[in-house]
Structure 1
Amino acid sequence: MTSRTLHLPVSAPDHVESFVEYASLGEAVGYDHVWLPETWGRDAVSVLTRIASETDEIGIGPSVLNVYSRSPALVGQTAATLQELSAGRLRLAVGPSGRAVIEGWHGASFDRPLRRTREFIDVVRAVLSGDVVDYDGDIFSLGGFRLRCDPPETPVPIEAAGMGPTSVELAGRFADGWHAIVFTPDGFRERMADLERGIELGGRTRGDVTTTLSLTASVHEDGEHARRRCRNHLAFYVGAMGTYYRESLARQGYEDEATAIAAAFANDDRDRVHEIVDDEMLADLAIAGTPAEAREQLARWEAIDGLDELAISFPRGATDDEVRQTIRTLGPDT
């Protein structure tokens, strides 16, 4: 059975406490886990610390920490600390992000992202073991590092984001989970073959790897308002976040649409975006509509073969009331 989790808003709320309130609401209506993206707003670690202190049962984790702006040893220390603060509720998700973010925002070279992700996972896992870390990789070399506290009693799953065939294979081979975003149901199923190949290459079993799909959702009494929110959100990801979302959509059969969306976004032509992202394409990439429509759409996504966890996320521009309504409407216990 597919579990339901929350992927908190990318757009920064007015206050840190809003994240805490969304997580608490999610816990109250039955979500299993709350994921926090880290983009250009608050840092994920500080906010997750607050969430851990104000909740009791819901799992926590970043999705994702990029593998360039922090060292893997530091992320290992951070994971050990968050696991202690949350009493064993942490899952850690990492990924390379993309060139526009890493070079444009962090001033680092977007070099060998897959190799870096693989070694990053290795080092974080070694740090969390509590043993002395002596690691000699192509990207990272460490000698003599060891936690000066007890390692976590509950092991921290280390999961990896990926959209392309090779990155998804890497998640299957080396990580404890795969995080997917901007996927159609058929696109997700196609990438499952890459994940399973990685699992086989790593000598693992399917039960060793959790699959999580982040799905944009907007619920509003005015269904067309909700659909506009999601169309604008998709346009931002395709038009402003480098080329990797565009390339992912192209692999999933939407190459012409992705190219046209990027052009329309560059020209600030929102009307054109809404024409390109028709109802069929929107239904393939989001949940959007009235409460009744959203609940009906939810069943299609939870029926995807191979999907362990559906993470409900929110479009850019969603108001506080819209986020809360979406959390409540799609809550497992609602």
Structure 2
Amino acid sequence: MTDRDVFLPVAAQASVGAFVEQARRAEDLGYDAAWIPETWGRNAAVVLTSIAEGTDSIDLGTSIMPIYSRSPALIGQTAATLQEVSGGRFRLGLGPSGPIVIENWHGVDYGNPLRRTRETVDVVKRVLSGEEVEYDGEYFDLSGFRLRCTPPDPVPPVEVAGMGPKAVELAGRFADGWHALMLTADGIADRVEDLERGAEKGERDSDDVRVTLALTCAALPDRERARELVRQHTAFYVGGMGTFYRDNLARQGYEETARAVYDAWQDGDRAAAMAAVDDDLLDSLAVAGTPDEAGERLAEFEAIDGVDAVSVSFPRGADPDEIGATIDALAPTESGR
């Protein structure tokens, strides 16, 4: 059975305590894991520590923790600590983010994200093993590092996010999981092929690489409001968050739409950018509608071959009540899973 996770909504939380309450709510409703990103707000590791102390059974993870804002050794230490405080429930999700975030906000050269991701995964896994780390890479040169505390048991999975073919191939070759987003069913099939190719190159079984698909969801009695929220969110990412999301959409056969959304958003015409995301595309990428409608659509995504978990995430414009309503409507217990 496909797991159903929840992606905690950073923008809607007034306090760390609010995150804890959302995670408890998800745990009570039967969600399998709660994920939190790290962008320019709260420190994900600190928040997850509070959530770990305030929950009992739900898995916890970062999706994603950027690899440029911490050293691999520190990421490994952080993962080991979070695995300890959560009682073995932690999953480490990593990713390069993008140049807008890394260069403008952290002041670090974005460089070669694929190579840096691979080296980070390599080093983190060695740190988590508890063995002394000797590593000679293009970006990182470590000698003599070893955890001073007892290494985690079990070792937390190290998963990576990626949209392009090479990034997903890397996940299949070196990571324990892949976090997918903004993909249609056909797009997922194409990227799963990349994952399988990577696993083959790494002499691994692709079934051992967990695929988590993040889906923007709004399940509300007001159908039009739900769809407007998700449409605006999609247009924002394609049009306003650099070129990665635009290119990802174009790669799936929507080049003209991707360009229209991007150009309109860059010109400041938000209405035109949203209008370019038609209903068919919206339903191919996300879940938006009444609770019954959204539940049926989510189940269709869960049935896609190769997907091990779907992560219910939320449009950036949704308020706390709308987020809560969606969490409740799409809970595993509500769908009889």
**Smaller-chain TM-score range?**
over 0.9
Equivalence map 1:178-197=2 (5 Å): 178-197=178-197
In structure 2, the partner of 1:307 is 307
SS in 1 for 2:170: helix
Question: Alpha-carbon deviations, 1:259-298, whole Å to 9, x = none?
Answer: 1111222233232123211110100111001111111211
Contact 1:215 1:285 in 2 (8 A): yes
SS in 1 for 2:94: strand
Tell me the amino acid that sits aligned with residue 306 of structure 1: G
In structure 1, the partner of 2:86 is 86
Residue 288 (1) aligns with residue 288 (2): yes
In structure 2, the partner of 1:124 is 124
In structure 2, the partner of 1:321 is 321
Alignment TM-score, normalising by the size of structure 1: 0.98
Tell me the amino acid that sits aligned with residue 113 of structure 1: P
Distance, in Å, in 1 between the alignment partners of 2:172 and 2:76 is 21
Contact 1:10 1:314 in 2 (8 A): no
**Deviation at residue 137 of structure 1 after TM alignment:** 0.9
Residue 231 (1) aligns with residue 221 (2): no
With 98-107 and 223-232 compared, the bigger mean Cα shift is at: 98-107
Distance, in Å, in 2 between the alignment partners of 1:331 and 1:257 is 32
Tell me the amino acid that sits aligned with residue 249 of structure 1: L
Contact 2:121 2:175 in 1 (8 A): yes
Unmatched 5+ stretches in structure 2: none
Contact 2:177 2:212 in 1 (8 A): yes
Distance, in Å, in 2 between the alignment partners of 1:150 and 1:242 is 41
SS in 2 for 1:25: helix
Contact 2:261 2:274 in 1 (8 A): no
In structure 1, the partner of 2:19 is 19
In structure 1, the partner of 2:101 is 101
Aligned CA distance change for structure 1 residues 234 and 10 (closer, same or farther; 3 Å): farther
In structure 2, the partner of 1:51 is 51
**Deviation at residue 223 of structure 1 after TM alignment:** 0.4
SS in 1 for 2:11: coil
Q: What RMSD over aligned residues (CA atoms) do the two structures have, in Å?
A: 1.0
With 3-12 and 324-333 compared, the bigger mean Cα shift is at: 3-12
Tell me the amino acid that sits aligned with residue 278 of structure 1: D
How many residues align? The count is: 334
Unmatched 5+ stretches in structure 1: none
Question: Alpha-carbon deviations, 1:238-276, whole Å to 9, x = none?
Answer: 122110000000001111111111122223323212321
Question: Alpha-carbon deviations, 1:103-143, whole Å to 9, x = none?
Answer: 11111001111111001001001111111111111110001
**Deviation at residue 20 of structure 1 after TM alignment:** 1.2
In structure 2, the partner of 1:168 is 168
With 38-47 and 8-17 compared, the bigger mean Cα shift is at: 8-17
SS in 1 for 2:90: coil
Distance, in Å, in 1 between the alignment partners of 2:313 and 2:291 is 16
Distance, in Å, in 2 between the alignment partners of 1:107 and 1:327 is 36
In structure 1, the partner of 2:35 is 35
**Deviation at residue 10 of structure 1 after TM alignment:** 4.1
SS in 1 for 2:307: coil
Contact 1:101 1:241 in 2 (8 A): no
In structure 2, the partner of 1:3 is 3
Question: Alpha-carbon deviations, 1:64-105, whole Å to 9, x = none?
Answer: 111111000000000010000000001101111111111111
**Deviation at residue 11 of structure 1 after TM alignment:** 2.0
Alignment TM-score, normalising by the size of structure 2: 0.97
Distance, in Å, in 2 between the alignment partners of 1:308 and 1:297 is 16
Distance, in Å, in 1 between the alignment partners of 2:25 and 2:267 is 39
With 203-212 and 269-278 compared, the bigger mean Cα shift is at: 269-278
SS in 2 for 1:252: helix
In structure 2, the partner of 1:270 is 270
Contact 1:12 1:42 in 2 (8 A): no
Tell me the amino acid that sits aligned with residue 224 of structure 1: E
Distance, in Å, in 2 between the alignment partners of 1:252 and 1:216 is 18
Identity %: 57
Contact 1:181 1:215 in 2 (8 A): yes
Distance, in Å, in 2 between the alignment partners of 1:183 and 1:232 is 17
SS in 2 for 1:14: coil
Distance, in Å, in 2 between the alignment partners of 1:197 and 1:282 is 29
**Deviation at residue 12 of structure 1 after TM alignment:** 4.5
Distance, in Å, in 1 between the alignment partners of 2:12 and 2:240 is 17
In structure 2, the partner of 1:113 is 113
Distance, in Å, in 2 between the alignment partners of 1:271 and 1:237 is 14
